[in-house]
């Protein structure tokens, strides 16, 4: 709900789409201990497919030229201007905003720090299914399993998004066989066993993405202003990755207006944006990383859930610390 007003202001009528509004959270430990919590701010369920297509319609109406099936191969900054090489030609621009997500060819091309192999960096694999499953519309469930967790909530058309993040080690143990890993590891959690054995799976194969790292990156690099996941990844356990992406574009939009009206220089634009990013998101992302570490350990997650269940004040504090304010 953080970004509900912002999306409506862009011209997308979310009420018309009749999306599920989510205000209840259930979290379980791998052995099935359950924590329940009301979500004060809450959220709404929508697939990225529907959201992106609606935003593209709005952009088209406003005269934005969108290039489909077009890959950016390189970006270079010279003489106060960017040269952008794409599979559909070369473009030059005064400003370049990077919104290429958690991992891209451009990260390697620009030699971004996090792409260099570090011994202690944890790599995760994300897997997404769309399923038919009898789940309350207002509920999001997060179920922990050994070295990972799986979330389920409703999106549009009464479909559920069933999505999990696991240490890549879990998948390696099963030679990359996702179904086997689900049976042997995820289904040790009784809630996940019930979901995986009774849901109807809509995709023939799940969508999987590997080499995910959690944490902040540089929000300005090679003079490119980074939005959303290209500036940092919050642990999906804390939700809100979409909201961070939108809030960063909302704030950058205001700064860019100042830049084009010559109220601020490029240096000021970059430093104001980098300061905003650090102040607004760094603590949230670092906290999500810590929470993720605690909950993926079977013994610790049982302890954390039992401890939080004793205090509704603490429960609500922990949930709030992963969220920002509506904008
Ligand atoms: C398992 C999992 C579950 C999650 N669950 C939630 C959730 O419940 N709620 C939530 O709010 N967030 C969730 N997130 C986080 C959320 O998905 C991201 O924070 C969000 O998608 C970030 O948006 P983005 O636009 O920055 O990046 P993305 O959505 O990754 O978009 C980047 C786009 O750039 C394109 N691209 C990349 N390189 C190039 C190139 N060179 N040229 C052209 N295009 C390129 C990509 O193809 C992609 O379409 C989850 C993440 C994971 C991994």
Reply yes or no on whether the pLDDT at 266 is more than 90: yes
Q: DSSP label at 297?
A: S
Number of the ligand 1 atom closest to the C-alpha atom of 128: 1
Q: Which among 229, 285, 292 is the best mutation to test ligand 1's pocket, defined by most ligand atoms within 8 Å of the CB?
A: 229
Distance from Cα 127 to the centre of ligand 1, integer Å? 13
Contact partners, residue 284, CB within 8 Å, separation at least 6: 234, 238, 240, 244, 321, 322, 323, 324
Tell me how far the alpha carbon of residue 102 lies from the centroid of ligand 1, in angstroms. 6
DSSP 136: -
Residues contacting ligand 1 via CB (< 6 Å) = 71-72, 99-102, 104-106, 126, 151, 163, 165, 212, 227-230, 236, 239-243, 245
| pLDDT for 118 beyond 70 | no
Environment class of residue 68 by beta-carbon count within 10 Å: exposed (0-12), middle (13-18) or buried (19+)? exposed
Cα dihedral angle (112, 266, 282, 120), rounded to 10 degrees?
10
Structure tokens belonging to residue 188: 């040790």
- Angle between helix axes 266-277 and 241-260 (nearest 10 degrees) is 160
Output the CA 312–ligand 1 centroid distance in Å.
32
pLDDT band at 15 (very low <50, low <70, confident <90, very high): confident
Q: From CA 100, how far away is CA 156, in angstroms rounded?
A: 25
Q: Is the pLDDT of residue 55 over 70?
A: yes
- Over range 63-86, report the average pLDDT: 96
CA-closest candidate to residue 101, choices 133, 72, 81? 72
Q: What angle do the packed helices 312-320 and 298-309 form, to 10 degrees?
A: 120
Residue 4 has pLDDT above 90, yes or no: no
Point out the ligand 1 atom lying closest to the alpha carbon of residue 230.
Answer: 26
Question: Which atom in ligand 1 lies closest to the alpha carbon of residue 100?
Answer: 34
Instruction: Find the range with the poorest average confidence among 36-50, 143-157, 286-300, 308-322.
Output: 308-322
| Nearest in space to 50 (alpha carbons), one of 41, 58, 42, 40 | 58
Work out the average pLDDT over 129-133.
Answer: 97
pTM: 0.89
Q: What angle do CA 48, 53, 58 make, to 5 degrees?
A: 125
Q: Residues near 115 by Cβ (< 8 Å), separated by ≥ 6? A: 107, 108
Q: Tell me which of 9-13, 79-83, 139-143, 277-281 is least confident.
A: 9-13
CA 265 to ligand 1 centroid distance, Å: 30
pLDDT tier, 6 (very low <50, low <70, confident <90, very high otherwise)? confident
Mean pLDDT of the residues in the chain: 90
Q: Other CB atoms closer than 10 Å to residue 273's CB: what's the count?
A: 22
Mutate to test the pocket of ligand 1, among 100, 122, 128 (most ligand atoms within 8 A of CB): 100
Residue indicated by tokens 């430990």 = 29
Residue nearest to atom 44 of ligand 1 (CA): 71
Residue 322 clears pLDDT 70, i.e. is over it: no
CA-nearest residue for atom 31, ligand 1, is 101
Find tokens 């990844």 and name the residue.
Answer: 233
Q: What is the DSSP string of 202-233?
A: -SSS-EEEEEE--EE--SEETTEEE-GGGTEE
Q: Best mutation site among 6, 242, 248 for ligand 1, i.e. most ligand atoms within 8 A of its Cβ?
A: 242
pLDDT value at 225 more than 90 = yes
User: Which atom of ligand 1 is least distant from the CA of 140?
Assistant: 8
Residue 29 and residue 144 in contact, taking contact as beta carbons nearer than 8 Å? yes
> What integer pLDDT is reported at residue 171 of this predicted model?
94
Q: At what angle do helices 298-309 and 283-296 cross, to 10 degrees?
A: 110
Q: Which atom of ligand 1 is nearest to the CA of 153?
A: 8
Q: At residue 154, does pLDDT exceed 70?
A: yes
Whether residue 52 has pLDDT greater than 80: yes
pLDDT tens per residue across span 198-216: 999 999 899 999 888 888 8
Name the residue at shortest CA distance from atom 51 of ligand 1: 236
pLDDT at residue 121 greater than cutoff 80 = no
């Amino acid at each position: 709900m953080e970004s509900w007003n912002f999306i409506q202001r862009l011209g997308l009528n979310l009420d018309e789409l009749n999306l599920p509004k989510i205000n209840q959270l259930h979290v379980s430990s791998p052995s099935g201990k359950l924590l329940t919590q009301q979500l004060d701010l809450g959220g709404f369920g929508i697939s990225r497919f529907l959201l992106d297509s609606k935003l593209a319609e709005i952009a088209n109406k406003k005269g934005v030229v969108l290039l489909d099936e077009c890959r950016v191969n390189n970006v270079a900054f010279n003489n106060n201007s960017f040269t952008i090489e794409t599979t559909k030609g070369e473009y030059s621009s005064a400003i370049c905003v990077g919104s290429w997500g958690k991992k891209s060819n451009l990260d390697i091309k620009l030699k971004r720090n996090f792409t260099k192999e570090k011994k202690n960096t944890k790599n995760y694999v994300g897997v997404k299914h769309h399923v038919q499953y009898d789940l309350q519309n207002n509920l999001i469930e997060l179920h922990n399993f050994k070295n990972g967790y799986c979330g389920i909530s409703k999106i549009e058309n009464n479909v559920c998004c069933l999505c999990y993040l696991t240490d890549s080690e879990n998948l390696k143990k099963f030679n990359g066989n996702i179904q086997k890993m689900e049976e042997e590891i995820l289904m040790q959690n009784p809630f996940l066993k019930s979901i995986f054995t009774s849901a109807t799976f809509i995709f023939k194969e799940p969508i999987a993405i590997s080499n995910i790292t959690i944490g902040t990156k540089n929000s300005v690099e090679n003079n490119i202003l980074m939005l959303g996941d290209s500036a940092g990844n919050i642990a999906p356990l804390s939700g809100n990755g979409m909201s961070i992406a939108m809030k960063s574009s909302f704030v950058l939009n205001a700064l860019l207006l100042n830049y084009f009206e010559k109220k601020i220089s490029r240096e000021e634009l970059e430093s104001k944006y980098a300061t905003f990013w650090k102040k607004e998101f760094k603590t949230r992302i670092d906290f999500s990383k810590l929470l993720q570490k605690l909950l993926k350990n079977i013994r610790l997650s049982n302890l954390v859930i039992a401890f939080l269940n004793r205090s509704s004040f603490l429960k609500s504090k922990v949930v709030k610390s992963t969220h920002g304010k509506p904008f």
